Each structure stands twice: as structure tokens, then as C-alpha cells.
Amino acid sequence: MNLEKDIKHAISTAFKEVFNHLAEPESIALQPTRKDFEGSHTFVTFPYLKVSKKGPEETGQLIGEFLKQNSNLIAEFNVVKGFLNFTLNDNIWLDRLRQMQTDINFGFAPSNGYRVMVEYSSPNTNKPLHLGHLRNNFIGYSVSEILKADGYEVRKVQIINDRGIHICKSMVAYQKFGHGETPESSNLKGDHLIGKYYVKFDQEYKKQVESLSANGADAKTAKKEAPVLVEAQETLKKWESGDPETVALWKKMNGWVYEGFNETYEKMGVDFDSFYYESDTYLLGKDLIEEGLKSGAFYKNNDGSVWVDLEDEGLDKKLLIRSNGTAVYMTQDLGTADMRHHDYPFEKSIYVVGNEQDYHFKVLFLILKKLGRSYFDGMHHLSYGMVDLPSGKMKSREGTVVDADELIDEMRGKAELKTKELGKIEGFNEKQAQDLYHMLGLGALKYFLLKVDPKKRMLFNPEESIEFQGNTGPFIQYTHARISTIIRRAEESGITLDLRENLQLQPQELELIRMLVQYPEKVHEAAETYTPSVIAQYVYDLAKEYNRFYTELIIFGETDLNITILRVFLSIQVASVLKKGLLLLGIKAPERM
């Protein structure tokens, strides 16, 4: 069934027959043939020269000859500088295409029985989502979908950082300057309203630090003793002691933020299966510390603080409990990990978190290992790079953030403008038109953020807005819409899509089938490496190839009906795979545009 496997077996046999050498099929490496050469699969002879005791050219020639004679897979071959290129029988490819059509689940692996928890988004509740969150959310959502397609059972979760000094700062500023303002009265989304007070807090804080400094305080004390900061710290204490008034305000303000977030998530097209709130989890983990002390994984200092020594692993000593007995972030994360595994016994757990926390997660996983948690093995930090602006890193305090809501709206607006310019909305009603603008704007944005390897930092220049031409989401969406027209026309013309004939394939047709066949492997690769960009690159290449096919070959009006059938048939499969691939990226494929 598997083409590559079959070819590898054939090569293995050839080695046995020609060189009397046992080459395990699994150990044979095949690669796709480069475009400028004839063939589809390439075998590199260099590693086998010691076995063949011949030059690279001759080795390739001998293997090629043997296979051409003895294998029904191989129609032709050529050898270029030790690279043995195979051209397969056209019927092999046509068979693949026929199989694809009957398999509705093409591209979806059967259940593998593994459960995986994917955590992403995990915002603070003191400000709106920004561009960095968009990358995080799109990656998290996409990886979840890819894992599902690869046979996993997935639970998408987020941990909401709903407590702590950051929200207290917004609370203090709101009490001071808010005059009872609400999202309704201010006509602001809840998260933006709270963000406004977070900024206000910072402004006030800076003012106070300045005036303290002007009155002779040194910089350190001024920063520590500014009244608003002291107030925020007191608010945090009050919250921790359960002061009803403080808790009520906290609930009200967080409620506004959640409303705002939900609206944004919906616009973004991401969702979650369950939520964890830090206010519920921040006290967890202390029992794990006790456990670790007992087992000797951790040790206690004279001052009562608890540490773990990771110097054997090439890391530092890490604090787990302060000398005053309070927990740190790490403690909480340990407890939360245990709780999550209890809630949903997973084989894998993916944390989609920025790469500035690489060290934190390295330590977290090592500690879980030291505690003997069997699940530690399946834990993975999906570390992604920052989205940089030309001016450098985004900093909320300096106002150099790109707001998520604004950016989405901007993209939608740009899609609308462009669509109208091209006169593409004839026959659309208002709702359909609006849906299309959103689909395209969001498609452009998602593709822009997902086409880059998650691990790498990437640059976003707000001046040069995201394009709709070239290697973009809308290009792929356009291709899909284009094919949809072909399919509609085929239906209207009433041709029977029965691919019976054994036809000779044109290069473009062959290339398309070759690419289609690869799709499940790409999904698997993306799932194993947690890399949506694999899929993004793939759908782009497929769309590009289809456009070439579309331009160069006549689909309707070909004299041989069987060729028309083949081309429509092929178009349908391309559309289907494009749509599936786009959905793995969270991008919708329009029928018309």
C-alpha cells in the first residue's frame, strides 16, 4: 500500500541480487527527486559504494537496470552523478488517485489511542490580547487539529492568569480614576477597558517615582515605595485573605475581561475544551514539595527554604519554597501538572509558551522526572519565538504593541477593499460578503503567522501590511475557490467521473498526484514535530502547482473525454486536500471568491 515502502523493498531485493548484499529496506533512504530531473523518487548511491565496490554512476546504473527489468513499479530510471532517479509506472499513480477518491478519511489517521493535552493562549487578565497571543493561539489551535488528524485524542486547555499583582494594579487604577466606568458606559470591550487602567496605573506609578526622586529618595526606594504600588500590594494581600469587597471588584473586572477575550477568540476561530484558573491552582504543589523532601529529591536550607539541585543536569539550584514558607511559580506549575494529569490522564502534554520560558520548562520537566512522575516523558514545551516589530520587541508599557482586535479588523477591512477592487462580490448578499471578508482577512493573518517555523523569531512590519498575493493564505483560498468552479461546472455538464482508462500522465498531472499522495505523511510529520508550518508550506506548494496545471492544461474542451475526466477528478482531490490542510491551520476555504 505504501509506495515508498514498496520501492525500498524493491531496492533491497536489487542489492541482494546484484551485489549479494543484505540492505534492510528500513535503512534505505529515498528522497523526492528534484524538479529539474526526470523521475519522482531518488536513491542516493554514495553510502553504498563500499558494498557495490563500484563507482557511484555504475552502482546506480546496475540497480536501475535490475529494477526496470524486475519490478513493475519502475518504468524508467536515470543516473546523474550517483543519484538514481526512478520514474514510476503511470498506472501506479492512477491507482493511487482512484484509492484517494474512495477514501473519505484520506489524511486522517485512525485513532492511535493516545491522549494529548494542549495548553495555549494562557493570558494575563490585565490587558487585551496582542500579536504575540495571536501567534500563540494559532499555533496551539493548529497543532491540536494536526494531532487530531494524526489519530490523537486532544484536549485543548488554557490556564488563565487571573490573579496576582498585575490585575491588582488595574484594580487600584480603576478605583482611583474609573468613576464606576463599565464596558457599556465607555463603549469599550471589557479587556480593553481593563487594559486602559493598567496603562493608567503605570503612568501614575512613574509620576510618583519621579516626584519621590525629586524629593531626594534614591531610585531603588522610590520604585519600591511609590504609593500606588504599595496600594496594589495591599490589594493583593486583601485578595489573598479573601476580603469580600476586593474579591467582588476582582470578579467584576475579570468578568469584563473574559467577555472581551471570548469575543476575540470567536473572531480568531479558536476554542478550548476546558479552563484552569490560576486563582484555583496557585496554592497547589506544596504536597509535592513534601513528597520530594521525603524522597530526597529536594533539600531544605537552614533558613527553611526548599531547593532542588539540578547541577548534575547542567543547570543550577532552583528555589521551590521561600524561607517564609510561601510557594513560587514553579511550585504551582508542579502542582498544576499533577492536577491536569489527574483530570485527563494523557500520554502527551504540550505547553505552547514563548521561548523566554525555555529554562523554566526545562527545570519543570526535570523536577517531575526527579519526583518519579511517569508522565514526564510525554511533556513537551512547544517553544515559539517572539513576533518582533522593526523597532524591536513589543513592549506594552511603551505602547509598542500590536493589538489583536485591531489587527484582525484591519485585515478584514483590507480584504474588503481588495475584494471590491477586483469586483469579486457580484451575486453575493451582504452576509456572504461579510463572511468572505472575514475569511480572507483572517486567512491572510493566520497563514502569515503559521508559515514560519514556530521555533523561530519572526518579524512583523505594521507599515507593510500583510499581503494577499504570493505565498499567502488568500492565494490558497483563491485556488480552492477556483477549483470549486471547476467542480460546479463538471456537475452541470453531467459528466460521469469514472476514471477507468489507463492514461498517460502529463508532467503537471503527475506532479499533482505525487504531491497529493504525500499529504498524510506531511500531517504525520507536522504532528510529530508540532510544526504547523510543514502543512502551510505543503498547501502552498500544492496550490501553486495546481495553478500551473490550470494555466497550462485545458480542463474542459479536451477532445478525449477521459482526459477531461482525469483532470476534473484530479481537481476534486486537490480541492479536498487543500481544504483539509487549510482546516488544520484553522483557515476556511471559500467556495467562491
Shortest separation between residue 436's beta carbon and RNA, angstroms:
7
Site string for RNA, 292-311 (x = CB under 7 A): ---------x-x-x------
452/359 Cα distance (integer angstroms): 23
Question: Per CB under 7 A, does 419 bind RNA?
Answer: yes
Question: Per CB under 7 A, does 147 bind RNA?
Answer: no
Question: Per CB under 7 A, does 223 bind RNA?
Answer: no
Binding residues for RNA restricted to 28-67, rule: CB under 7 A:
29, 31, 33-34, 36-37, 42, 44, 46-47
Integer distance in angstroms from the first to the last C-alpha of the chain?
38
**Which CB atom, from 84 or from 154, has the smaller least distance to RNA?**
84
**Which CB atom, from 64 or from 183, has the smaller least distance to RNA?**
64
Among 186, 400, 485, 504, binds RNA (CB under 7 A): 485
For strand 83-88 and strand 115-119, is the pairing parallel, antiparallel, or unpaired?
unpaired
Q: Is there a contact between 72 and 79 (Cβ–Cβ < 8 Å)?
A: no
Question: Per CB under 7 A, does 475 bind RNA?
Answer: yes
Span from 220-228, 371-379, 458-466, 492-500 in contact with RNA (CB under 7 A): 458-466
Q: Is there a contact between 445 and 408 (Cβ–Cβ < 8 Å)?
A: yes
| b/e sequence 228-237, b meaning 16+ C-beta within 10 Å | bbebbeebbe
* Number of residues forming the site for RNA (CB under 7 A): 92
Shortest separation between residue 258's beta carbon and RNA, angstroms:
17
Question: Per CB under 7 A, does 185 bind RNA?
Answer: no
Among 434, 461, 493, 504, binds RNA (CB under 7 A): 461
Among 467, 510, 562, 583, binds RNA (CB under 7 A): 467
420/428 Cα distance (integer angstroms): 11
Shortest separation between residue 445's beta carbon and RNA, angstroms:
13
Among 358, 398, 498, 560, binds RNA (CB under 7 A): 358
Which residues neighbour 106 within 8 Å (Cβ) at sequence distance 6 or greater?
100, 519, 520, 576, 577
525/535 Cα distance (integer angstroms): 9
Question: Per CB under 7 A, does 493 bind RNA?
Answer: no
161/540 Cα distance (integer angstroms): 37
Question: Per CB under 7 A, does 278 bind RNA?
Answer: yes
**Which CB atom, from 165 or from 561, has the smaller least distance to RNA?**
165
Q: What is the DSSP string of 489-504?
A: HHHHHT------S-PP
458: Cα separation from own chain's centroid = 14
For 53: left if phi > 0, alpha if psi spans -120 to 50, otherwise beta; the answer is: left
- Within 10 A of 219 (CB to CB), how many other CB atoms are there? 10
Question: Per CB under 7 A, does 553 bind RNA?
Answer: yes
Shortest separation between residue 318's beta carbon and RNA, angstroms:
8
Among 109, 482, 503, 583, binds RNA (CB under 7 A): 482
211's grid cell? 516626584
Q: Is there a contact between 267 and 128 (Cβ–Cβ < 8 Å)?
A: no
Q: Is there a contact between 482 and 411 (Cβ–Cβ < 8 Å)?
A: no
Shortest separation between residue 241's beta carbon and RNA, angstroms:
16
311: Cα separation from own chain's centroid = 33
- Within 10 A of 174 (CB to CB), how many other CB atoms are there? 22
Give, as one character, the DSSP assignment of residue 405: H
Among 93, 197, 468, 538, binds RNA (CB under 7 A): 468
**Which CB atom, from 96 or from 548, has the smaller least distance to RNA?**
548
Binding residues for RNA restricted to 109-128, rule: CB under 7 A:
none
Q: Which residue has the cell 491536569?
A: 340
- Within 10 A of 36 (CB to CB), how many other CB atoms are there? 6
Span from 90-98, 200-208, 255-263, 445-453 in contact with RNA (CB under 7 A): 445-453
Binding residues for RNA restricted to 331-350, rule: CB under 7 A:
332
Question: Per CB under 7 A, does 164 bind RNA?
Answer: yes
Site string for RNA, 379-398 (x = CB under 7 A): ------xx-----xx-----
Span from 125-133, 176-184, 371-379, 459-467 in contact with RNA (CB under 7 A): 459-467
